[in-house]
Chains A and B, each alone.
Chain A
Amino acid sequence: MVPREKLVADMEKMFGQGKVLKSELERYTYTYDSSFASQSNEYYPDVVVCLNSTAEVSQLMKYAWENEVPVTPRGAGSGQTGGSVAINGGIVLDLSGWKDIVEVDDANMQVVVRPGIIHAELNQELAKYGLFFPPDPGSSVFCTIGGMVSNNASGLRAVKYGATFQYVLGLEVVLPNGEIIRTGGLKSKALKSVSGLDLTRLYCGSEGTLGVITEIRLKLLPKPQSRGIMLALFEKLEDSALTVLDVFKAGIIPSGIEILDDGGIRCANMFKPDLNIPEVEAAIFFEINGTKPAVEEEGRQVLAIAQKRAKSVEWATDAERMAKLWQGRAVIGAASARLVPGKTRIFAGEDVCFPISRVPEALRRIKELSKQFNIPVVIYGHIGDGNMHTAPIMDPLIEDEVERTHKLAEAIHNLALELNGSTTGEHGVGFARAPYMEAEHGKALDVMWAIKKAIDPKGIMNPGKIWALGRE
């Protein structure tokens, strides 16, 4: 390993002082993302480099390869598993300033972007062409597309549109040795390809462990003409989940089905008082999009289904009200911190995914675990695909609460595995979930490791993520 002083000097020589952050204070601001795991530790990078060209990234990787220096790529640092934190030191490569939209190819319904572009900013630009990139994370306003691809993120509309990987047509990747490859075809603008092994899919969700993604070609869809949001309120939490199943049985796939439990409703009202959602056990937001007549008809049918169990139902097509409702739901992740004065929420065990048939049981069991460990949990998330967010509300300054929260998070992860689900539906593994990989994947994890070793034999790409440090 190169001594830190030399590493810093080399980076400054290669890229100029303006792109290198080296002081203790500067480096400290790269020790965290949203995860409690990162905030409970102090994993300092030796240096931070902010780059915005493939040539520079390639140069950096060649240096890292030759000198066996770990490199951790980072976008907005909005992840929730410590994925962009350098737990083994080395270089953090901040790509969040590289925000170019290289090309909007509207005729072929695709766009080429650099990794730092913010999701919401991209969709704002695409709207000018009547197009959109469908995955819709709650962090849309601040997360980067590079981060979304690296974590294979999804979000509020995954129930209809799926996750990020379904829209990634090709990538430019700088390999650990600095070489540059293009996945999905060197010059391809095709919307489909089964030519060769699907390296694009391999890199989606690889969390920076196989190289640095420097360019992304995304498939787009035409922006739906119309949209409506239905808010259904339930006095029993489980009734909400049963209603979702009824909607599917009726042959309807809304573009989003989101849940807020009682705590989530309170948080939403605290952050956006004019939302004014009555306090019941659960609120479900159904988003329906398409042509205007289709939205009206599907809205009518969902309304009829929801009314069977719901206490009340509101159908909104007014743009302002819809924006408020959707935003109220989207930001609940951080707004949960408002629930109990003197406490906050942490991100730990927060995106488990259950089979949709077992969601009612999962909701009940999570509430029981919350009682068992005496840690309030706000439940919200993508009930339509079983991907639930569970926000523990606690005081990070009280040791006992921290300990109980860790135990609760572990129990929630194990519950997901017990109910044939996954420990992470969309946030990724990072280092926070690495301990569950063996139980979730068995021998398949060895194959994943073999792929990792084939591409990154020196183990310099984001070490300690997906596979815990020390695995050989």
Chain B
Amino acid sequence: MQATYRIDFTEELKKCVKCGTCRSHCPLFVEIKGEPGSPRGRLALIKRLHEGKIKPSQELANIVYTCLLCKKCAVECPSGVISDEIIIAARDYLNGAMSQPLIKKALLKGFLTRPSLLYACMSLTALYQKTGMHSLLTKSKLIELLPEKINACAKIMPDVTKKPARSRIPAVTLPKGEKKFKVAYFIGCATNFIYPEVPVAGVKVLSHNGCEVVAVEGVKCCGMPHMAYGETETASELAKHNMEILLKDDYDAIICDCASCSSTFKEAYIHLFQEGTKEYEMAQKLQAKTYDISRFLISKTGIKAGDKTVEPDQKIKVTYHDPCHLKRGQNVFKEPRELLKSIPGIEFAEMKDADRCCGSAGSFSIMHHDLSMKVLDKKIANALKVNPEYVATSCPTCTMQLSYGLRKAGSGAKVVHPVQILAETYM
């Protein structure tokens, strides 16, 4: 079995001794029950596929796709089985071996590879939301009559902006005060169209902490959705494109505010190319240069918060949800907390199981809505126990999911990126 996402199936699958540790760490298995829903079960079937003892099938694909890629089983595996990467490679293989639905091809190969098409699609979405269509469908409960996945999407999807981040941020933002670094800021698809205030805040914070910030133009989707859906060849094309642009100038660092984008640059691109090739070398370079924004601020620039208090005369209680791709993907979990704690007027409160997946996993919350909601409910219950005004997180899909969960629970807590709160302290 070969996949574009390069792993050695034989060697990696051999490591699994089937001890069952992963059963207790998978946030989905708790909800699914039955061995096929466990990481061990999925790997056993992938091994069987690799050995040629079973053929690709829709049933197998369903099992392989019922995974959040949250990496929890991988980091907890005593034997060192990289289950999430095996799953990505298996999806890649299945994608090539089975015919794919037209809608999937259109989304992954069309909209997410062509910024202009994505812009058009997002504009239409914004129009649907702004004209009151969405509100009407929701209030009249007609939304429930929509096909399951569209209904799920409509419920979770927040307002899309007509003015994406890339149009709000200057090509170059100069540092306030002494220049310490020249950095490239990668604006991902989700923050660009859905949470443009995040990169705006990110650029502002970097600039206030000694960075010249270049909002790199011409970049495309990082390719994470493609890899998650087995469309790895397209992801490779996107990787080549993005690497050419991001590595053209000699930036001190490439900054991401999205855990998935930074994780893709740091962990995934390297798997897309043959060792020794020019692209592999570029992927290594990108890996070394990419930083999550909180890590860069804490480890490189140091943080100097502004003079403004977030809420005068009042402490604001903030908790933090660790995105899987940041905590387990990049071992970044102290930095966002340090960043938050550095902000005057903030009271930081740790929630239980802060690093447990929220169930979003890109579009998992749409494709497996009921299952995803069960995972989300646990997360929201833990978050609400600390009674926060803000739930901070560093991933736009987590933000979407947590916002939806809080809305459902009737909570007024807002979900923000840590840099959004920090940015408010600057005049």
Interface residues of A in 282-339 (CB under 8 A from B): 331-335, 337-338
B135 at the interface (CB under 8 A from A): no
A344 touches B79 (CB 8 A): yes
Interface residues of B in 192-227 (CB under 8 A from A): none
A395 at the interface (CB under 8 A from B): yes
Chain A, Cβ-Cβ closest to B63: A25
CB < 8 Å A-B pair total: 110
Instruction: Bits for B23-42, please: 1 = Cβ < 8 Å to A, else 0.
Output: 11100000001111010110
Residues in A with CB closer than 8 Å to B15 are 337-338, 344
A39 at the interface (CB under 8 A from B): yes
User: Would you give the shortest CB distance from B267 to chain A, in whole angstroms?
Assistant: 19
Report the bound CA distance from A26 to B57 in whole Å: 13
Interface residues of A in 248-273 (CB under 8 A from B): 270-271
Out of B17, B23, B41, B63, which one reaches A337, CB within 8 Å?
B17
Chain B, Cβ-Cβ closest to A346: B17
Interface centre among B15, B19, B41 (most CB of A within 10 A): B19
Report the bound CA distance from A247 to B44 in whole Å: 45
B17 touches A347 (CB 8 A): yes
B11 touches A26 (CB 8 A): no
Report the bound CA distance from A335 to B60 in whole Å: 29
Chain B, Cβ-Cβ closest to A35: B18
B19 touches A29 (CB 8 A): no
Residues in B with CB closer than 8 Å to A143 are 20
User: Would you give the shortest CB distance from B85 to chain A, in whole angstroms?
Assistant: 16
Interface centre among B17, B34, B57 (most CB of A within 10 A): B17
B2 at the interface (CB under 8 A from A): no
Chain A, Cβ-Cβ closest to B76: A141
A342 touches B11 (CB 8 A): yes
A112 at the interface (CB under 8 A from B): no
Out of A96, A345, A397, which one reaches B17, CB within 8 Å?
A345
User: Would you give the shortest CB distance from B56 to chain A, in whole angstroms?
Assistant: 11
User: Would you give the shortest CB distance from A107 to chain B, in whole angstroms?
Assistant: 29
Report the bound CA distance from A141 to B60 in whole Å: 28
B302 at the interface (CB under 8 A from A): no
Residues in A with CB closer than 8 Å to B59 are 23, 25
B411 at the interface (CB under 8 A from A): no
Chain A, Cβ-Cβ closest to B81: A337
A28 touches B17 (CB 8 A): no
Out of A33, A39, A337, which one reaches B78, CB within 8 Å?
A337
Report the bound CA distance from A48 to B33 in whole Å: 12
A334 touches B78 (CB 8 A): yes
B54 touches A25 (CB 8 A): yes
B60 touches A25 (CB 8 A): yes
Out of B41, B78, B80, which one reaches A29, CB within 8 Å?
B41
A335 touches B79 (CB 8 A): yes
Q: What are 19 A-B pairs at a CB distance below 8 A?
A: A23-B59, A26-B36, A34-B19, A39-B18, A50-B34, A76-B20, A78-B20, A97-B33, A118-B24, A142-B19, A271-B78, A334-B17, A334-B79, A337-B17, A338-B15, A343-B14, A345-B79, A346-B17, A397-B10
Please report B residues at the A interface, Cβ cutoff 8 Å. Answer: 10-11, 14-21, 23-25, 33-36, 38, 40-41, 44-45, 48, 54, 57, 59-60, 63, 77-80
Interface contacts beyond A94-B34, A97-B33, A120-B24: sample of 20 additional A-B pairs, CB < 8 Å, sorted by A:
A25-B45, A26-B34, A26-B36, A29-B36, A29-B44, A32-B18, A76-B23, A78-B20, A97-B34, A139-B19, A139-B20, A139-B21, A141-B25, A271-B80, A333-B78, A334-B77, A337-B78, A337-B79, A345-B17, A397-B14
